[in-house]
């Protein structure tokens, strides 16, 4: 299984505790696939929102490619529809409403069939003290690994 990661959202792992992950397709326009192949995407401030029963990716920047042979230039931050099964959409919608969770994009990639996919996560926001505890734990783990390696 070989996937090519285009853009990664490190901020999502820092600001949220990821509870469950899903894979979704993205509806792209014009030269956006070429722009993704050139790795010109930014997920940093992205989030997902339900609009009329469909899930949309909001505030994700996919830059326009100047070399694209088209006069049509889509807006770089337009909402993009995500393609999920109906059962998955219902599950996400129910969990979002009941537990007040957020859906955040984790990374965009091309799968083995060369289709653009996005990994989204059902996430719960972290408090400042939770972030500090994660940093402490990560530092202790790193030091333990270094000590084991030195032995």
pLDDT band at 30 (very low <50, low <70, confident <90, very high): confident
Least confident stretch, 13-27, 38-52, 63-77: 63-77
pLDDT score, position 84? 93
Query: How far is Cα 108 from Cα 39, in angstroms, rounded to an integer?
Result: 10
Q: Is 0.75 surpassed by the pTM of this model?
A: yes
pLDDT tens-digit series, residues 76-96:
788 999 999 999 999 999 998
The architecture CATH gives domain 4-126 = Beta Barrel (2.40)
For residues 82 and 116, what is the distance between their CA atoms, to the nearest angstrom? 11
pLDDT value for 21: 93
């Amino acid at each position: 299984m070989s996937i090519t990661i285009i853009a990664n959202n490190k901020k999502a792992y820092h600001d949220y505790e990821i509870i469950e992950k899903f894979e979704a397709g993205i509806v792209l326009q014009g030269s956006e696939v070429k722009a993704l192949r050139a790795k010109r995407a930014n997920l940093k401030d992205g989030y997902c929102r339900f609009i009329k029963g469909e899930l949309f990716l909001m505030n994700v920047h996919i830059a326009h490619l100047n070399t694209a042979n088209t006069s049509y230039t889509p807006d770089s931050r337009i909402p993009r529809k995500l393609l999920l099964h109906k059962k998955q959409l219902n599950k996400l919608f129910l969990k979002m409403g009941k537990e007040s969770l957020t859906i955040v994009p984790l990374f965009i990639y091309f799968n083995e069939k060369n289709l653009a996919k996005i990994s989204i996560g059902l996430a719960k926001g972290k408090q400042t003290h939770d972030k500090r505890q994660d940093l402490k734990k990560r530092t202790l783990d790193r030091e333990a690994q270094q000590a084991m390696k030195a032995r």
